[in-house]
Amino acid sequence: MNCEQAARQIHDYLDEVISQHDEQELKKHLLQCMDCKRRFHSLQQTIAIVQSASHIYAPHDFTDRVLAALPKETAMQLWKKRLQRHPFLVAASLFVLMMAGSTTAYWYEDNQFQLSAEQMQKLEIDNAGNNIIVPANSVVSGDIVVRNADITVEGQVQGNVVAIDGRIYLASTGQITGEREEIHQAVEWVWYNLKKVAYQIIP
């Protein structure tokens, strides 16, 4: 038996799958070869260490002590973890910030008169008084949005009326079936636009 064969037989012996004849041959070789004998004893010691370690148990508070010894996460690291877990929230937040910034800039830059209504022909425009009028006995369907002007409702509006940087005046004969909203500050303007976008996205 040479050393290469002996190496294979050593593993078979330790795994307890060696035949009686091969075991006899291995023992003869180990008596003659010191290298194989050292390898055999080294493997025996390794197996003994592993087997003895299987009966060792960690203290009951071992996990708590290891976790306590770990370095504490900084506030920035905690925020990064939260952001990684909620990518949709990050995208939504960035969208809101970008929209708020652009909308605020638009509020301060735009001072022109604007009017949005589905039935413009039923409205009267008083350029001298900077006023939009819903005439008495007139029924206007849909929302009316006016910017940098006032609106006087003497008839009926079947929808919302929004005055941006202006006032809404409701005559005794006037009626608004929807909401009335006056926007006089940039924050209110941003909030109004965010709500409008949300209503368009969410059915």
pLDDT tens string, the chain, 203 residues long: the values are 788 888 888 888 888 888 888 888 888 888 888 988 888 888 888 887 777 765 666 677 877 887 777 777 677 676 666 666 766 665 666 666 665 555 555 545 556 778 888 888 999 988 887 899 999 989 999 999 888 889 999 999 999 998 888 889 999 989 999 988 887 765 554 556 556 655 555 55
pLDDT at 193: 58
Among residues 100, 93, 92, which one has the least CA distance to residue 194? 100
The pLDDT score that the predictor gives to residue 129 is 79
Task: Tell me how many degrees the CA angle 170-138-175 measures, rounded to the nearest 5.
Answer: 30
- In 3D, which of 149, 154, 111, 147 has the Cα closest to residue 130? 149
Q: What's the pLDDT at 44?
A: 84
What phi-psi label fits residue 175: left (phi over 0), alpha (psi between -120 and 50 degrees) or beta? beta
pLDDT at 1: 78
Distance (Å, rounded) from C-alpha 161 to C-alpha 151?
Answer: 9
The answer to whether the pTM exceeds 0.75 is: no
How many residues are listed for the chain in this entry? 203
Cα distances (angstroms) measured from residue 197 to each of 94, 108, 125, 192: 15, 20, 28, 9
The whole-number pLDDT of residue 107 equals 46
pLDDT of residue 170: 92
Residues 6+ apart with CB under 8 A from 184: 165
Torsion of CA 9, 11, 16, 18, to 10 degrees: -20
pLDDT of residue 8: 87
The residue ranges of DSSP E strands in 30-142, in sequence order, are 114-117, 124-126, 131-134, 139-141
**From CA 149, how far away is CA 131, in angstroms rounded?**
6
pLDDT at 188: 59
Residue in 199, 202, 200, 162 with CA at minimum distance from that of residue 184: 162
- 60/184 Cα distance (integer angstroms): 64
Residue 197: what pLDDT? Answer: 56
